[in-house]
Structure 1
């Protein structure tokens, strides 16, 4: 029994790795299930057994991308002890991760169109947006952030970060656009400093 659980886990991991690469390179519409299972050295039945469909596989890939970005946001923010710097580092980490070649098409283009905005937003709320809200709440409780409605602030800032990621993804110079975005976000957030 233990071995079959390990085998199932290995199969899932392999399918997710191969599918992520295909979805990132070719997009959802042009990714072939036959090519993915062949590259993973598995059967189409294994894909259906674990994910139900190509869309189910894509959903799992997007969830893993969202979770990975959320973890990266948290890790980058924890590099500092200063709450404002933590917030800015987390914002930068989100945008930088979102526009990476291995994430951008899955997260920014196909995610909302294949699964719909509601599913995409729910995943965003469970990952990056959750970390953002936690940071804003902590800052407000510690007196760093003016007393603004937290849900409104979280959604507003998350929307700005998502829109910035879409803009940067289409920019000819990702690095410069990221720096410009972070400059604007930094200036914007200074208005909420409770000093």
Structure 2
């Protein structure tokens, strides 16, 4: 009985998140009404309030889901790279390019900050920083980059990537902006390399 109830709760949450994600991506947060969201999910406003508190709480849940998917995609990129350095660079460039994807751009980089505040304070950013910190430590251990404070450097890198992604999402020409950011990031990151190493091409 308890398992059945837990499954029903999960199903209800998933229906609301899917309906909200579709609506936020298509119309934006401001133009998505709670009545439309709940009707599409075949649920009541009461269900939304019960599970997420309000529309803002639903946006947080949608962003958390997208963040998990982004992290999973980035993990695959790291795993498939031939070297730790290539994985570090490929992951960073992929994160930059994700800000061009319509759903991610609108929900995470446009609506998210305007509704939920500074993205650097979101829980997902801590996970990104820890992941980057591990990559930096591995690069130091391998003798690929110079000795640096891993937490400080991870925060610098993630701060730069996040700030650049927000700029790309709001740019008049996001595609060109992303190309400039990728080029600039490669130049900055190469400064970490020891002199006998070559930058990723």
TM-score by length of 1: 0.89
Q: Which residue of 1 aligns with 2:163?
A: 163
- Cα distance, 1:178 vs structure 2: 2.9
Q: Deviations over 1:108-132 (max 9, x none)?
A: 1222222222x65232323333322
- Count of residue pairs the alignment pairs up: 194
Q: Which residue of 2 aligns with 1:153?
A: 153
Unmatched runs of 5 consecutive residues or more in structure 2: 197-201
State whether residues 70 and 94 of structure 1, in contact with CA within 8 Å, keep that contact through their aligned partners in structure 2.
no
How far apart, in 2, do the equivalents of 1:59 and 1:33 lie? Answer: 15
- Cα distance, 1:181 vs structure 2: 2.2
State whether residues 16 and 37 of structure 2, in contact with CA within 8 Å, keep that contact through their aligned partners in structure 1.
yes
Q: Secondary structure at the match of 1:78?
A: helix
How far apart, in 1, do the equivalents of 2:11 and 2:89 lie? Answer: 37
Unmatched runs of 5 consecutive residues or more in structure 1: none
- Cα distance, 1:90 vs structure 2: 0.6
How far apart, in 1, do the equivalents of 2:175 and 2:80 lie? Answer: 21
CA RMSD of aligned residues (A): 1.9
TM-score by length of 2: 0.86
- Cα distance, 1:175 vs structure 2: 4.1
Q: How does 1:90-129 map to 2 (within 5 A)?
A: 90-117=91-118, 121-129=121-129
1:75 aligns with 2:76: yes
Q: Secondary structure at the match of 1:127?
A: helix
How far apart, in 2, do the equivalents of 1:67 and 1:98 lie? Answer: 15
How far apart, in 2, do the equivalents of 1:174 and 1:111 lie? Answer: 18
Q: Secondary structure at the match of 2:144?
A: coil
1:132 aligns with 2:132: yes
State whether residues 76 and 89 of structure 1, in contact with CA within 8 Å, keep that contact through their aligned partners in structure 2.
yes
